[in-house]
Amino acid sequence: MTFKKTIQAIEGSILESQDELRKFRQSNFPEIEKYELPR
């Protein structure tokens, strides 16, 4: 059971860091967002 919780924690932190990365890119490189395809 701890294995499943570990995976959930890892997935949660990955999603968080992707969100942080998106915010970081939007605030620092707004022009790059125009050329990226929306996910």
According to DSSP, residue 1 is labeled -
Answer yes or no: are the C-beta atoms of 32 and 24 closer than 8 Å: no
Answer yes or no: are the C-beta atoms of 26 and 33 closer than 8 Å: yes
Q: Which residue has the tokens 């915010």?
A: 23
* More confident of the two residues 39 and 22: 22
Domain interval for residue 8: 1-34
- Let me know if residue 23 belongs to a domain: yes
- Let me know if residue 19 belongs to a domain: yes
Looking at residue 39, what is its pLDDT?
59
Write the pLDDT tens digit of every residue in 10-33: 999 999 999 998 888 778 777 766
- Let me know if residue 29 belongs to a domain: yes
- Let me know if residue 15 belongs to a domain: yes
Q: Name the domain count of the chain.
A: 1
- Let me know if residue 39 belongs to a domain: no
Which are the contacts of 25, defined by CB distance < 8 A and separation ≥ 6? 32, 33
- Let me know if residue 9 belongs to a domain: yes
Is the pTM higher than 0.85? The answer reads no
